[in-house]
Amino acid sequence: MQSHTPNGLRLPTIQDYLPLIGSEAAQRIQAKAQRLSDLHIINVNSTYYGGGVAEILSSLTLLMNGAGIRTGWRVLQGRPDFFSITKKMHNALQGGEIHFNDLKQDIYEEVVFENAARMHIDHDVIIVHDPQPLPLINHFRKKAPWIWRCHVDLSHPDPELLSYLSGFIEQYDAVVLSLPEYAQNLSTPQRFIMPAINPFSTTNKELTDKEIDERLSHYDIPTDLPLVVQISRFDKWKDPQGVIDAFRIASKEVDATLVLVGNIATDDPEGQDIFEALCGCREERIRVLSVQDSALVNALQRRAAVVMQKSLKEGFGLTVTEAMWKGAVVIGGNVGGIKHQIEDDVNGILVDSVEDAAEQIVRVLKDPALRKTMGKAARETVRTRFLMTRLMEDWLDLIASFEP
Binding site for ligand UDP (CB under 6 A): 51-52, 55, 203, 231-233, 261-263, 292, 294, 297, 316-319, 322
Minimum CB–partner distance for residue 333 and ligand UDP (Å) = 12
User: For the chain, percent helix, then strand, then coil, each to nearest 5?
Assistant: 45, 15, 40
Q: Are 94 and 313 in contact (CB under 8 A)?
A: yes
Instruction: Give the single-character DSSP code of 348.
Output: B
Considering beta carbons, is residue 43 or 232 the nearer one to ligand UDP?
232
In the bound state with ligand UDP, the residue whose beta carbon lies nearer, of 78 and 240, is 240
CA 83 to chain centre: 18
Q: Residue 231: is it exposed, middle or buried by C-beta count within 10 angstroms (0-12/13-18/19+)?
A: buried
Beta carbon nearer to ligand UDP, 123 or 238: 238
Cβ-proximal residues to 339 (8 Å cutoff; 6+ apart), any chain: 350
Residue 250, CB-side half-sphere exposure with 13 Å CA sphere: 30
Instruction: Supply the minimum distance, in Å, between the C-beta of residue 139 and ligand UDP.
Output: 27
* Neighbour tally for 116: CB within 10 Å: 19
Nearer to ligand UDP, 35 or 218 (CB): 218
Residue nearest ligand UDP (C-beta atom): 52
Q: For residue 28, give the DSSP letter.
A: H
Of residues 261 and 350, the one with the C-beta less far from ligand UDP: 261
Q: Are 222 and 192 in contact (CB under 8 A)?
A: no
CB of 30 to ligand UDP, least distance (A): 26
Torsion angle of C-alpha atoms 303, 178, 156, 125, degrees rounded to 10? 130
Q: How far is the CB of 2 from ligand UDP (least distance, A)?
A: 29
Shortest CA distance to 401 belongs to which of 181, 176, 195, 71?
176
Shortest distance, CB of residue 219 to ligand UDP, whole angstroms? 12
Strand ranges for 57-203 from DSSP E: 70-75, 125-129, 146-149, 174-177, 190-192
By C-beta, is 251 or 263 nearer to ligand UDP? 263
How far apart CA 152 and CA 322 sit, in angstroms, is: 18
Q: Which is nearer to ligand UDP, 87 or 371 (CB)?
A: 87
Type and span of the H or E element at 287: strand 286-290
Minimum CB separation of residue 390 from ligand UDP in Å reads 16
Q: Cβ distance 79 to 51 under 8 Å? A: no
Nearer to ligand UDP, 59 or 65 (CB): 59
| Nearest distance in Å: CB 133, ligand UDP | 16
Smallest distance, ligand UDP to C-beta of residue 195, A:
7
Q: Which is nearer to ligand UDP, 318 or 331 (CB)?
A: 318
Question: Which contacts qualify for 203-212: CB closer than 8 Å, 24 or more apart?
Answer: 203/55, 203/294, 203/295, 203/297, 203/298, 203/322, 204/298, 204/322, 204/325, 204/326, 205/298, 207/295, 207/298, 207/299, 207/302, 211/295, 211/299, 212/299, 212/302, 212/303
Could you tell me the smallest distance in angstroms from the CB atom of residue 22 to ligand UDP? 26
Nearer to ligand UDP, 47 or 251 (CB): 47
CB of 282 to ligand UDP, least distance (A): 21
